[in-house]
Amino acid sequence: MKERKLRTRPVILSGEYSLPFAEKVAEHLDLPVTPTTVTHFANTEINAHIEDSVRDATVFAIQSHGAPVNDNLMEHLAIVQAAQLGSAHEVTAIAPYRGYGRADRMAKPHDAFMGKLSMQFFELAHARRFIEVDPHSGQSSGFANGMLYESIPAAPVLRDDIANVMATLDNEPVIVSPDFGRDKLNERYAALLGGLDLAVIAKNRDGVNHVNVQRVIGEVAGKVCFMIDDMIDTGGTIVKGAQALRDRGAAAVYIYTTHPIFSDPAGERLSKAVADGVIKEVVTTDTLRIPNSFDPGVVRTVSVAPLVAAAITKIYHGESVSGYFNGETHH
Point out which residues pair with 39 in neighbouring strands: 47
What does the mean pLDDT of the chain come to?
92
pLDDT computed for residue 331 by the predictor: 44
Residue 330 has pLDDT above 50, yes or no: no
Is the pLDDT assigned to residue 207 strictly greater than 70?
no
Q: What is the pLDDT of residues 242-262, one digit of tens each?
A: 999 999 999 999 999 999 999
**Predicted local confidence at residue 213, as pLDDT:** 62
- Region 29-57 average pLDDT: 97
- Rounded to an integer, what is the distance from CA 162 to the centroid of its chain? 17
Neighbours of 46 (CB within 10 A): 14
**68 preceded by a cis bond (ω within 30 of 0):** yes
Query: Class of 10-154+305-326 per CATH?
Result: alpha beta
Can you give the residue ranges of every domain in the chain?
Answer: 10-154+305-326, 155-302
| Nearest alpha carbon to residue 237 among 281, 267, 268, 204 | 204
Q: From CA 295, how far away is CA 31, in angstroms rounded? A: 34
The neighbouring-strand residues paired with 38 are 48
Reported as a single tens digit per residue, the pLDDT across 99-139 is: 999 888 777 888 988 988 999 999 999 999 999 999 987 66
- φ, ψ of residue 103 to 5 degrees: the values are -90, 60
Active site residues per annotation: 203
Whole-number Cα distances in Å, 93 to 14, 33, 46, 126 = 10, 15, 18, 10
pTM: 0.92
Query: What pLDDT does 146 receive?
Result: 83
Dist CA 129 CA 122 (whole Å): 9
200-211 average pLDDT score: 69
- What tens digit of pLDDT does each residue of 71-100 get? 999 999 999 999 999 999 999 999 999 999
User: Fold identical between 10-154+305-326 and 155-302?
Assistant: yes
Per CATH, domain 155-302 is 3.40.50.2020: yes
